[in-house]
Homo-oligomer: A and B are copies of this chain.
Amino acid sequence: MTTTSPQGHTELLRPDGSPVRVLVVDDEQSITELLSMALRYEGWQIRSAGDGLGAVRTARDFRPDAVVLDMMLPDMDGLSVLGRLRRDLPDVPVLFLTAKDAVEDRIAGLTAGGDDYVTKPFSLEEVVARLRGLIRRSGAADRRSDSVLVVGDLTLDEDSHEVTRGGDGIHLTATEFELLRFLMRNPRRVLSKAQILDRVWSYDFGGQANVVELYISYLRRKIDAGREPMIHTRRGAGYLIKPAA
């Protein structure tokens, strides 16, 4: 089952129609706050914990549909937390947060059970997309919602990373793909450059705000090239995407 969220895109719901529940675990409060805010915006119900013990305790009565778990916690290591979580909630999917330069071998085995991970610093779009994927595949959401976004004759497949316009395949880079996904998840809505920067670029991006203009330019070249444009500028406000019609 899906319904329309305050943000305008379809959201996942549990079989009984109640919102999806996500537990966020990180010791840096700025991170839990950032994530909580972003995930609530998805229409999900969020709880957070700052350490492993709190996570296990919270999970027990909150019974989340998914967990976002930092691998680096003050009191226990990520794997122990995982083990304890799994004792109470054997099927809950977990999205791990790891440091970019963290030893790769810590990652080993984490995705084996269908779990997933993102490296810090992450972009919110990436976290949300992966979480949606995990929840979708775990069956916690009752609709086997498919992974394809459609706006007009433009399609974007989140599984295969395939993008087509009018049937023609279009190759996008990773950043272009995320930007387009964000636009397509919010069709007909004006998104400011600040919003785009906050969602699509990682939270520690320190560069020039005009990367957004640049990447919009790239996208137009690939998506609107010689066709009825779908990406529109609202001067002073931001950008929006809508069907060419």
Contacts and interface: CB of A to CB of B under 8 A. Distances in A.
Interface string A140-173: 0000000000000000000111100000000001
A8 B110 CA distance: 20
A188 to B, nearest CB: 5
Q: What DSSP secondary structure best describes chain A's contact surface?
A: loop
Given A104-B209, A188-B160, A113 B236 contact: no
Contact of A235 (B174, B209, B242): B174
Contacts of A117: 194
Interface string A31-63: 001101110110000000000000000000000
Interface in A92-116: 104-105, 107-115
How big is the A interface, by class?
35 or more
A38 B112 contact: yes
B188 A90 contact: no
A160 B174 contact: no
A34 B114 CA distance: 11
Contacts of A124: 112
Contacts of A36: 90, 113
Interface in A169-215: 173-174, 188-190, 192, 194-195, 197-199, 203, 205-206, 209
